[in-house]
Amino acid sequence: MSYQPSSKSTMSRKTYVEATKYAFNTSWFDKVADMDRQYVVNVFVETSEIEIFDVHRKNVFLKRCPFPELDLSKFFIGNAVVIHGRQHTITGWANEFTRAALSSTSERTCALIKPHAFSPRCVRDVLEQAKENGLTVARVQLSAMTEQAMMDFYAEHLEKPFFPQLAQMINEGPLMVFELIGQNAIQKWRDIIGPTDPAASDKLRNKYGQNVTKNAFHGSSSQKDAERELQIAFSLRPLFSEQKSSVILIQPKFQAKFGEILEDIYNFTSHYNLKVSGIHSADPVAADIDELFKAYQQVIPNYQQFCDLFDDGAVVALQLEGDDCINKSRELCGPWDPEIAKLLRPESLRARYGLNAVENAVFVTDIEEEAEIHSEYWFKCVE
């Protein structure tokens, strides 16, 4: 669910004292001290307020105060939330009440698109179905299974007669892994993809699966399996190319459009002899964002506002490679201002998805040296 700021009439029904309080353990990286600092963040949903306690000093860090942009749906374990300019990573529930109230609404599951089924259209269908069922994509990554990771991931099938075929299928190419979060996420995802045999239903497996082994998708069967599978899948390094490339970043605000944007990118690359060589979501710290964009500081309008957008959730990075990929990627993204893009490049990403010159949907590296730095950062350094 997404929280909407309360009206005055709603505010009057819940007083300052009565408002429901949810408490979260968080961590903030202090770059000056080179250390993680631990806090407890209390969230008051009905009154749209927040307060913060310093765990180490055992005192109030931020007194209870208005926080109009409060969105409770962003407060789940592992997510990063920006509070007054600081990026707090949610590390756990701070009390039993919060765990009991919210843990079922933020259940996690591991969702895979297997190599034979991976395509932009399939990704878009997955994301649309997840959204329709109230599931949020917390992480996404294009990877390849190592032999050990595959054996760990499918440990329960090692002795089964079909395991050699399963192993061969998983090694056929890249696979897309998602961490999905939401109420009853495990069962909802399994309902979305349908039974193991694609022919047994009209769900997504029927559309993209071929047989019981090549059935297009994987879904965790229990919370214990989900935790294990997510740990294995996201411990794999994301695929990326060491060749000359460009990097496109999707602003966190536009993650709901990821499937559509990805399909547009693949359509473009197929016509311009480019290849999508990497997809990886990450939660960068504000200091790194400022460092990465520094080369563009004099040319990006409203520079600080633009940088701040990348603090507000996961950033999806896509790496493109091919001849003249820098110029082609700039053409794909279009002019900086979406209004100008609509006139000059109406099919570009910024024309189709951008809102204004700050919230323009995507960033693209258009300096060759910077593209190498961005590839290194987004696909090797940050998680």
What CA–CA distance (Å, rounded) separates 365 from 293? 9
Q: Is 335:329 a contact under the CB 8 Å cutoff?
A: no
| The one catalytic residue among 56, 84, 116, 218 | 218
Residue 299, exposed/middle/buried by CB under 10 A (0-12, 13-18, 19+)? exposed
Domains in the chain: boundaries: 19-94, 104-233, 245-381
User: Could you tell me which of 248, 225, 228, 213 has the C-alpha nearest to residue 319?
Assistant: 248
pLDDT string in tens for the chain (383-residue length) = 333 434 333 444 445 556 789 999 999 988 788 888 999 999 998 899 999 999 999 999 999 999 998 888 888 888 888 898 888 989 999 999 998 888 777 899 999 999 999 998 999 999 999 999 989 898 999 999 999 999 999 998 998 998 899 999 999 999 999 999 998 999 999 999 999 999 999 999 999 999 998 999 999 999 999 999 999 999 999 999 888 899 999 999 898 889 899 999 999 998 899 999 999 998 887 778 888 898 888 889 899 899 988 877 789 999 999 999 999 999 999 999 999 999 999 999 999 999 999 999 999 998 888 888 999 999 988 77
What CA–CA distance (Å, rounded) separates 379 from 383? 8
Fold of 245-381: Alpha-Beta Plaits (3.30.70)
Which token pair is 113? 């698109």
What CA–CA distance (Å, rounded) separates 246 from 321? 6
CATH number for the domain whose boundaries are 104-233: 3.30.70.141
**374 in catalytic set:** no
Residue with tokens 């323009």: 360
Task: Say if 104-233 and 245-381 have the same CATH topology.
Answer: yes
Fold of 19-94: PH-domain like (2.30.29)
* Predicted TM-score (pTM) of this structure: 0.78
In the annotated binding site for ATP, the residues are 114, 162, 190, 196, 205, 215
Phi/psi class of residue 58: alpha, beta or left (left: φ > 0; alpha: ψ in -120 to 50)?
Answer: left
